[in-house]
Amino acid sequence: MSDRLPRPLYVKVNPSDNVAIIVNEGGLPAGAQFESGLVLTEAVPEAHKVALIDIPQGSPVIRYGVTIGCAERPIAKGSWVHEELITHPLAPDLDNLPLATTVPPAQPPLEGFTFQGYLNEDGSVGTKNILGITTTVQCVAATVDFAVKRIKAELLPSYPNVDDVIAITHNYGCGIAIGAPGAEIPIRTLRNLSLNPNLGGAPLVVSLGCEKLQPGQLLPVSTLPILSREPYLVRLQDEQHRSFGDMVAAIMEMAEKRLAQLNARKRTTRPASDLVVGLQCGGSDAFSGVTANPAVGYAADLLVRAGATVMFSEVTEVRDAIDLLTARAADPTVARDLIREMAWYDDYLGRGSVDRSANPSPGNKRGGLANIVEKAMGSIAKAGTSPITAVYGPGEQVKTKGLIFAATPASDFICGTLQLAAAMNMHVFTTGRGTPYGLAMVPVIKVASRTSLAQRWSDLIDIDAGTIASGHETIEEVGKKIFDMILEVASGNKQTWADHWGLHNEFALFNPSPVT
């Protein structure tokens, strides 16, 4: 039994639930008795489920007020409700979903919340001031990395107002079928990554020359007038580069011009409505859905009330709760857009002969998540209670305020990369098992679902939401803390642990079509 929580403690989320989650660190032994009088008939690990009543074979196992599966055999009150005891229900049928049937009423607006940001010409606002160098093709990656190392060492120190230099390198651009169904996804992802608000709206481009993805397709000048004024492009195969040294010099020269422009920028006071906050979870456990994710959901509601854009994602993690989301859509068109994205992903998985049940990891299961339904219910808690106002396909640039759904895989870095392409300028990431996630382009605030993790990883986790399970803080208190930290970090007043260490994972493109 835990030292810090002397009393056996469980969390029941919804009054109709017939299972609850063990809070005590290290779990509880057989015989442990709760205040309610419930006695454990066997040992139950931390974050795993205990049956609150006898559940007959075939009867629903209920958590979050919804059926997460049915009992494979009779489950006695006080026993451990583990993965094997629960049947895997079918995903909701996409043909019979409620469309905008329970649209939540608008919450009162929140006025007066601001942050200090960098206003771009296109109206977007940066939370960092970064020089971005994008690339059309994987072949130039090592050359650009070489140049970026020199830019950071030789040029960046002279431009102290610029936060970082980032090369947008990737495995796309050639050796791919550029006309394949789905090819627009990686292409628009790279385009919109290059236009992320934190890069100031005008990226530099390095091309090889002979690649399939040509600069004009990556960033069409017609749609991006700023590029016609500042056509910063180096093409390595161009005749004027008569050595590798020439190529590197050309990239550095172009970089220095841009560094001078970026260095002259100043933060100004911006309304909280200029924030585009991406939400994600990774390494989830059964606490994620009762502590970290609901607290983030509360922060999401505050952000929406303040006029900001809040983005949630991860198709395979919401697929099993899609009926709740289509009902919450602001109107039937938005609901149908949600269904379209689910259907696209069902088809994508089907072509590869897998389905959404591939989602939960061994760690999720050890963490008490029996299946994708339970994981989904926890996952959508991040999205708070606002109506869903718009849906975007993978890699599309988000232009809508309010709570939006940006369709992405759940794979952490692919999701993060797509949210960056969607114009995210702040990121909140919840974890139960623990993952040292980080992105270079925007600050990532990491929220732990358990106090034990937050304490053990005190130099990686920014906010401890485990205090909700132990009763030391409420969901609202932790949610407000997350909201406040978003504004502080967005203003550059506070640094996340990921930024402190420079823990910055590479971009991971979502390319649903074959390589050639």
- The residues in 344-383 that bind a second copy, with binding defined as CB under 8 A, are 348-349, 351-354, 356, 358-359, 361-364, 366-367
Segment lying near a second copy (by CB under 8 A), choices 29-37, 76-84, 132-140, 375-383: 132-140
Phi and psi of 7, rounded to 5°?
-90, 135
* Binding-site string for a second copy from residue 59 to residue 78, where x marks contact by CB under 8 A and - marks none: --------------------
Among 27, 294, 402, 438, binds a second copy (CB under 8 A): 438
What's the closest the beta carbon of residue 328 comes to a second copy, in angstroms?
24
Q: Based on CB atoms, which residue is closest to a second copy, 274 or 396?
A: 396
* Binding-site string for a second copy from residue 22 to residue 61, where x marks contact by CB under 8 A and - marks none: ----------------------------------------
* Binding-site string for a second copy from residue 258 to residue 297, where x marks contact by CB under 8 A and - marks none: ------------------------xx--------------
Q: Based on CB atoms, which residue is closest to a second copy, 232 or 348?
A: 348
Segment lying near a second copy (by CB under 8 A), choices 35-43, 150-158, 324-332, 454-462: 454-462
Segment lying near a second copy (by CB under 8 A), choices 48-56, 152-160, 395-403, 408-416: 408-416
What is the rounded CA–CA span in Å between residue 450 and residue 464?
7
Please state, in angstroms and as integers, the Cα–Cα distance from residue 145 to each residue in 138, 169, 170, 195, 202, following that order: 11, 8, 12, 20, 19
Helix residue ranges per DSSP H, 320-406? 322-328, 332-351, 362-366, 372-380
Q: Based on CB atoms, which residue is closest to a second copy, 208 or 468?
A: 208
- Site size for a second copy, by CB under 8 A? 82
Q: Based on CB atoms, which residue is closest to a second copy, 174 or 252?
A: 174
Q: Based on CB atoms, which residue is closest to a second copy, 12 or 365?
A: 365
222 touches a second copy (CB under 8 A): no
Q: Which amino acid is at 506?
A: E
What's the closest the beta carbon of residue 386 comes to a second copy, in angstroms?
27
What is the rounded CA–CA span in Å between residue 501 and residue 492?
16
Q: Give, as ranges, the residues between 310 and 329 that touch a second copy (CB under 8 A).
A: 316
Among 210, 260, 264, 343, binds a second copy (CB under 8 A): 210
Please state, in angstroms and as integers, the Cα–Cα distance from residue 298 to each residue in 127, 378, 383, following that order: 22, 14, 8
Q: State the DSSP string of 152-191.
A: IIIIGGG-TT--EEEEE--S-SSSB-TTSTTTHHHHHHHH
What is the rounded CA–CA span in Å between residue 477 and residue 410?
28
456 touches a second copy (CB under 8 A): yes
Within 10 Å of residue 115's Cβ, how many Cβ atoms?
24
Segment lying near a second copy (by CB under 8 A), choices 43-51, 58-66, 155-163, 232-240: 232-240
DSSP letter assigned to residue 234: E
Q: State the DSSP string of 70-127.
A: EBSS-B-TTSB--GGGB--PPPPPTTS---SSSPPPPPPP--S-EEEEEE-TTS-EES
What is the rounded CA–CA span in Å between residue 203 and residue 185?
19
Segment lying near a second copy (by CB under 8 A), choices 111-119, 210-218, 249-257, 395-403: 210-218
* Binding-site string for a second copy from residue 152 to residue 191, where x marks contact by CB under 8 A and - marks none: -----------------x-x--xxxxxxxxx---------
What's the closest the beta carbon of residue 139 comes to a second copy, in angstroms?
5
What is the rounded CA–CA span in Å between residue 242 and residue 260?
27
Segment lying near a second copy (by CB under 8 A), choices 76-84, 88-96, 135-143, 296-304: 135-143
6 touches a second copy (CB under 8 A): no
How many Cα atoms sit within 13 Å of 19 on the Cβ side?
34
Among 9, 75, 247, 311, binds a second copy (CB under 8 A): 247
- With a CB cutoff of 8 Å and minimum separation 6, the contacts of 208 are 136, 137, 139, 140, 174, 235, 236, 237
What's the closest the beta carbon of residue 375 comes to a second copy, in angstroms?
11
Phi and psi of 428, rounded to 5°?
-120, 130
Report the alpha-carbon angle 498-218-333, nearest 5: 80
3 touches a second copy (CB under 8 A): no
Return the bridge partners of 268, or none: 117
Q: Based on CB atoms, which residue is closest to a second copy, 236 or 377?
A: 236
What angle, 0 to 180 degrees and rounded to 10, lies between the N-to-C axes of helices 292-305 and 475-490? Answer: 60
What is the rounded CA–CA span in Å between residue 155 and residue 231?
21
459 touches a second copy (CB under 8 A): yes
What's the closest the beta carbon of residue 514 comes to a second copy, in angstroms?
4
Q: Based on CB atoms, which residue is closest to a second copy, 3 or 35?
A: 3
1 touches a second copy (CB under 8 A): no
What's the closest the beta carbon of residue 170 comes to a second copy, in angstroms?
9
What is the rounded CA–CA span in Å between residue 406 and residue 486?
20
96 touches a second copy (CB under 8 A): no
What's the closest the beta carbon of residue 248 comes to a second copy, in angstroms?
9
